[in-house]
Structure 1
Amino acid sequence: MGLRPGGPPPGDRRVAGLSGVLLVRHASTPGMRAACFPAPDADADAASLARAAALTQTVARAAAGAVAWAAPSVAAGQTVAALGLAARVVPALAEVDCGRWQGQPYERVAREEPDALASWLTDPHAAPHGGESLAAHAGRVAAWLESVRAEPGVVAVCDAGAIRAALGYALGLDPLSAARFDLAPLSVTELTVTRAGWRVAHVNRKVLI
């Protein structure tokens, strides 16, 4: 992730090592595999954490000299530890607060509250579960992204929703459009900063061991 052959695009602020923001989706959880709404107190799978530990050197090389941040969830903290990073916890990177749906299977909510779920999926300002709207979530992630844009390099470990919100902000997408990005556990997404604004270097890249 250093300088590419031929040099960076005009206005690019790339430096040796990481430039911009490297977003790492945290290790998988039982809730992810069971298609449940996110729950911040869910532990990461042991097998996924073992895989994260195997990526330590790769991530360390990419993140050399960068500031590390982590979402406040248990799985994010466990992933940070497995990667050998010393990260600051930042509430802005938390997944969207799903209120009473937290930890519940999507299938159950779709069966028991179809109208409420439909509202949440079509209106980014709706929060029928009593938690946070997708628009509010996108706003706090965008504010955090702007707060770190002057850093020479940033690594952030969080879940898919925060990464999608960051991509949406960088690309000028609404929260519903940004939700279409597929992001695998332990995949990495990189945003870079230029004088013209944010660029997307890559999305959902699986880091090779």
Structure 2
Amino acid sequence: MRGARFPTGEERADAASLETAQRLSRTLASVLHPGTPSSPGTPSSPGTPSSPGTPGSGVFGEGGTAFVAPGRAARETAVALGLARVVVPELAEPDYGSWRGLPYEEVVKADPESFARWLADPCAAPHGGESHAEAADRVVRWVESLRETPPGELARPDAPSPEPGTSGRSGPGSGGRGWVVVCDVTVVRAVLGHALGVGPLVAARLDIAPLSLTQVSASREGWRIGYVNRKATP
């Protein structure tokens, strides 16, 4: 736990991760959609994401669009992958209230009882922000709303607007192939927990690797998990 902090949403993606993401843009489509030929793409210089609102031209092309968490690291990663961005507030990391940006160790020393309660009770929010359960429910409500979204249709009346300068056209979801979402680990865990029918404290035990791929698909019974922690090789 040493060195770990409660996120603020303004943390930047590290340069090495962005460079890897830019290389992944060349092969990501073939991993997400087997049978899709890879393309070299034209990523920007390693470690330097495109300017806001200017997606790169990776394998998805200029029209490639992803739902993206509002956190800075997620937005930078989407740019490095060559994707236009539709930012979705519901995909944000939990609101940690007064603990935002603080080191875990500092919170434990200052208020060990509240920290222990936060770890043990999914409905506890001693920091004044969101509880584990509230954050997970927020994500789940948004995911469930996709069931009513025709494949490839990003710009329905109640859909979030694309960032200025990005494309609102259908992306990799067109043709019924599903959506691409770029988000943080807590969101991935919330979706997997929902698919498995377990609570957020159990889902928190799942280790999700950086820049890994997770696939879930809707079914009549709920959601099916295709894979977790799949790596795309640059």
TM-score, length basis structure 2: 0.71
In structure 2, which of residues 197, 205, 209 is the aligned counterpart of residue 172 of structure 1?
A: 197
Change (3 A) 1:98 1:177: same
How far did residue 112 of structure 1 move?
Answer: 1.6
- Asked if 1:204 is matched to 2:193, the reply is no
2:216 and 2:200 map into 1 onto residues whose CA distance is: 17
Q: Secondary structure at the match of 2:226?
A: strand
Q: How many residues align?
A: 178
Structure 1 spans left out of the alignment, 5+ residues: 1-31
Change (3 A) 1:38 1:84: same
2:64 and 2:197 map into 1 onto residues whose CA distance is: 26
Alignment of 1:86-105 (within 5 A): 86-105=84-103
Q: Secondary structure at the match of 2:66?
A: strand
Q: Which residue of 1 aligns with 2:13?
A: 44
Change (3 A) 1:40 1:51: same
2:67 and 2:113 map into 1 onto residues whose CA distance is: 37
Contact persistence 1:37–1:101 (CA under 8 A): yes
Contact persistence 1:168–1:178 (CA under 8 A): yes
Contact persistence 1:66–1:154 (CA under 8 A): no
Q: Which residue of 1 aligns with 2:208?
A: 183
Amino acid at match of 2:29: A
Of structures 1 and 2, the larger Rg is shown by 2
Contact persistence 2:64–2:83 (CA under 8 A): no
Q: Percent identity over the alignment?
A: 53
2:68 and 2:96 map into 1 onto residues whose CA distance is: 19
2:69 and 2:2 map into 1 onto residues whose CA distance is: 20
Q: Secondary structure at the match of 1:148?
A: helix
1:112 and 1:195 map into 2 onto residues whose CA distance is: 47
Q: Secondary structure at the match of 2:84?
A: coil
Change (3 A) 1:167 1:66: farther
Q: What RMSD over aligned residues (CA atoms) do the two structures have, in Å? A: 1.9
How far did residue 179 of structure 1 move?
Answer: 0.5
Structure 2 spans left out of the alignment, 5+ residues: 34-59, 152-175
| Segment of structure 1 superposing worse, 62-71 or 75-84 | 62-71
Q: Which has the higher contact order (CA 8 A, sep 6+)?
A: 1
1:162 and 1:33 map into 2 onto residues whose CA distance is: 23
Alignment of 1:49-198 (within 5 A): 49-61=18-30, 62=32, 68-149=66-147, 150=149, 151=151, 152=176, 153-198=178-223
Q: Which residue of 2 aligns with 1:7?
A: none
TM-score, length basis structure 1: 0.79
Contact persistence 2:2–2:105 (CA under 8 A): no
How far did residue 188 of structure 1 move?
Answer: 1.1
How far did residue 87 of structure 1 move?
Answer: 2.0
How far did residue 66 of structure 1 move?
Answer: 7.6
Contact persistence 1:70–1:156 (CA under 8 A): yes
How far did residue 67 of structure 1 move?
Answer: 5.3
